[in-house]
Amino acid sequence: MQELEIQTAHGPSQVLVGRGLLADATRLVDECALPRPRSVVSNTTVGPLYGRVLATALALERCTELPDGEEHKVWPQVQGLCTEWLDQGLHRSDAVIAIGGGVVTDTVGFASSIYMRGVRWIAAPTTLLAMVDASVGGKTGVNLEHGKNLIGTFWQPSLVLVDVDTLETLPERERRAGMAEVIKSAWIGDRDLLDLIDPSRPISDPLWEELVMRTIQVKARIVEEDEREAGLRKALNLGHSLGHALEAATGYKRFLHGEAVAWGMRAVAAIAAERGLLANPWRRQLEAAIDRLEPLPPVVGMAPDRILHHLASDKKSDDSGVAWVLPSDGGVVLDQRVSIEEVQDVLETLGSSAAV
Ligand SMILES: NC(=O)c1ccc[n+]([C@@H]2O[C@H](COP(=O)([O-])OP(=O)(O)OC[C@H]3O[C@@H](n4cnc5c(N)ncnc54)[C@H](O)[C@@H]3O)[C@@H](O)[C@H]2O)c1
Ligand SMILES: [Zn+2]
């Protein structure tokens, strides 16, 4: 098992990466001097696979199972959880644990941050994306009709329990999509990791623990410097400006988030190269890693206008447009303005290079 402590404004957040951790949850929670969780929350897919086992390991009677899917990452689920915890008599000194992908961790993290003005929470991520991204850094929240993650808090989990064995049941496509976030972090802070990108590597391979932990380390270092995204943390949006627009323009149906981010990273690599920010060998290294995520759903049949419209309504934009993150030889450059013409050019290139 590998351990990492993230220093946050509200104290340390402990990260444990290993195998068989869920069965050992009580001991691990005790060793971190945390109260034993009184509520396990998962969803209808992960609950039967792991949530119920975790509840049993924690000597709890049941696992609460939220409906599965991004469309259920909404306020009524948060309200329902808080009501359930009240009925259960959970106090401010108690803790809860979320087990599942980013949807479950974002929802439960948010509920824990407002229940009685905040109770401690533990994240047990079971998707690659949630392991390396959603459960690290303390952003919680749910979606509104106006857009994604529009209400939320910064509320650090006291403990992140990453049991790599759970990846065994994760659908291959989800695994590849999560790998896009690994590539993103590797690019920003651990380029050697790019050579280890191989989504089809058997889960039993010990390299998975290393890959997950090293990716978490990159994000952890950034979050320690800039917990509330005043500057440096924006680097983690690499590939996300166009990625979000592609997701929105296709009604969140064609691409998984990571797949759209993969296209977004291809796009910014092209724009950065065109601007002379990114030399060819570096661009090739980034693109070679993204190639290993193929097949990606294609960027074809999309009106550039729709994509530009969604770019304009990006949450991270201000009056002067979207602040893009571009890759550079040494890392990334923040707060870049990208013209409509550059976006149109790059969309043409992506469309013509689309596989499948
Ligand atoms: N808080 C943050 O900093 C942050 C960062 C990135 C993403 N997010 C959020 O994360 C969400 C996406 O997370 P996600 O990609 O994990 O999606 P998800 O939570 O919807 O999980 C994907 C699918 O995999 C299933 N699943 C999860 N673990 C499994 C396992 N081990 N075996 C079999 N099936 C499993 C889920 O039930 C679901 O159907 C988005 O809502 C996004 O906004 C948050
Ligand atoms: Zn992302």
**Which residue among 70, 84, 229, 287 is the active-site one?**
229
Are 273 and 352 in contact by the 8 Å Cβ rule? The answer is no
Counting ligands in written order, the one closest to the CA of 74 is 1
* Mutate-to-test residue for ligand 1 from 43, 52, 127, highest number of ligand atoms within 8 A of CB: 127
Indicate which atom in ligand 1 lies nearest the CA of residue 127.
28
Q: Which atom of ligand 1 is nearest to the CA of 167?
A: 31
pLDDT at residue 355, as a whole number: 41
pLDDT, tens digit (0-9, with 9 covering 90-100), for 260-305? 999 999 999 999 999 999 999 999 999 999 999 999 999 988 878 8
Give pLDDT tens digits for 65-91: 999 999 999 999 999 999 999 999 999
Is the CB of 46 within 6 Å of ligand 1?
yes
Cα 128-264-193 angle, rounded to 5 deg: 45
What integer best gives the mean pLDDT of the chain?
95
- How far does the centroid of ligand 1 lie from the alpha carbon of residue 319, in Å? 31
Sheet with 2-8, strands from edge to edge, namely 2-8, 11-18, 159-163, 120-125, 95-100, 39-43, 63-66
Ligand 1 close to Cβ of residue 247 (< 6 A): no
Q: 281 C-alpha to center of ligand 1: Å?
A: 33
For residue 98, how many C-alpha atoms fall within 13 Å in the half-sphere facing its CB?
Answer: 34
- Tell me the pTM: 0.96
- pLDDT at position 313 is 77
Q: Is 73 a catalytic residue?
A: no
Structure confidence at residue 22 as a pLDDT band (50, 70, 90) = very high
130-143 pLDDT, tens digit per residue, is 999 999 999 999 99
Q: Judge whether 229 counts as a catalytic residue.
A: yes
The DSSP symbol for 32 reads T
Facing residues of 109 across strands? none
The residue written with tokens 């407002």 in the block is 114
Catalytic residue among 61, 117, 146, 280: 117
How do strand 324-327 and strand 332-336 relate by DSSP bridges?
antiparallel
Which three-class secondary structure state does DSSP give residue 136? coil
Give the distance (Å) from ligand 1 centre to CA of residue 39: 20
pLDDT tens, residue by residue, 195-247? 999 999 999 999 999 999 999 999 999 999 999 998 999 999 999 999 999 99
Q: Which domains does the chain have, with CATH numbers?
A: 2-170 (3.40.50.1970), 232-353 (1.20.1090.10)
CA of 257 to the centre of ligand 2 (A): 6
Instruction: Give the ligand at the shortest distance from the Cα of 177.
Output: 1
Query: What b-and-e string marks burial along 22-37, b requiring 16 or more CB atoms within 10 Å of the CB?
Result: bebbeebbeebebbeb
- Shortest-distance Cα residue to atom 5 of ligand 1: 134
Give the H or E element holding residue 77: helix 75-88
Cα–Cα dist 111/81, whole Å? 7
